[in-house]
Structure 1
């Protein structure tokens, strides 16, 4: 809105039309916001050249020394599962060898300590590294250029840090456990909620099947949490050789001193997933600086942005609007069906 106000005050009208969509309920699924906005635009026959939503940041000293801008060309799916165990309860003075709680706890521990297989070796992750090859030290460049040989080592390296491990595999997070109601009663029922962020190379069926294999206990019932409205499969992958990606890349380099820009996988989820009927290419990028340890601030204490980075954020969106008219200095006239 700062950029729009600035352009309006300067009486500057972009050649390429653009829409700004504000959803109010992204954190709870976007059903009343983005979903309805997308449906209305589709009903009106609107089709976009590209869409830009919030997403991956400018990362500093995470994938490489210095800064790197990763633009999300896809995002993981969300699958929320309910694990439930029904067994005979009883009085705490006469405990059984196993209870619903102990069986569930074992299942949860197995899921928490068993990673899903990684998918490094093709697609987004390799494209990201290939974009970085020209700017990393010679040894890393050599490894990236010869993934047929060094692929397992590169995958192992990425798997050692949470921020990078999440980009190459489906992740598992146990978020809720429920059991018991009284200190001296052994409950007959226990349940846990498990949240998976699903890699584009996996399906929901793959994840559920692997969970059964990992838990390996028929007493643990696994079901999709039907009360959870956020369940959605991984999104299609957008192009990183397109007009939209070029606009975003050029804007990043203009604002952040020519730092490298690479495609990436969005490990969280955004409202962008509701707009795939409106554009072939959807990108997820937030022009904020992300340093080691900052992930602990998401939805947590001291979540913040610096004043200087706030100014860079405004400047970035200004450049996106201007560059949509003049990518690489070449004006491109919009078509009626391709805004």
Structure 2
């Protein structure tokens, strides 16, 4: 079973001259193993095989699981649409009023597809021993928005804050339990995705996202398990709120000025990002991918704690030539340092 001393691993990355690369990428592995997205998000074995295929082919410093932000909402009872070769989506609101929030039960870990994701993590911890494996999980504010409707939940914060807080409490309780179960599988950490929190002001992000994320961090993070907080909705106004969580690392989307964000992060935390997963990885030419990666590496050269990554989970349909171009750019940059 994989149990990395994740703090020591982070210190190694920060101390070495070479920049590590950890794109959030599983869909190319699904395609390489001949499976569909639907199969991978519903079957832990298929999911693991995709992760393993990418580890065999590419030199990422860590492996990542699928960033599927419907797993937790489904566990609560939300209806999910499963296209054959696209990421799943929540089809409609589960909750519409304060009474529904009050009656909502926090699910157990055998609800929905949670068990399949824990199975994939367990397989990855047992089958991948040359690099850390990071699972994925939604954050509490983003989960609340999926259950209540995002625009409706943002209004609820101001119209009935006690009800909004009640839903955030239930979301936090479940996510902490889920992250604890992911830790128990033996994987090295979790990418906790709070994209919807980027729609809030810095103060509101602190009040309605970060304070709950901080509780999850305090409950599950240790030397063997890291929480990397992802917020691709943050354009710079929420960075301080993100770092207030005490997370082990921070992952940023492509809309942010990454050097500016990195300057606001603790020097002993990893700062990860932020190539556009669609505009660069999926839609650009290999030459454009290589140039975009080179430019980002040069802009971040003054930050030893930088790890080059995609700005979010790369979608289905990323050309293999683009992935190869990304890693060539990293190799070229590191060779010339």
TMscore range, shorter length: under 0.3
Based on CA coordinates, which of the two structures has the bigger radius of gyration? 1
Structure-1-length-normalised TM-score: 0.28
Structure-2-length-normalised TM-score: 0.28
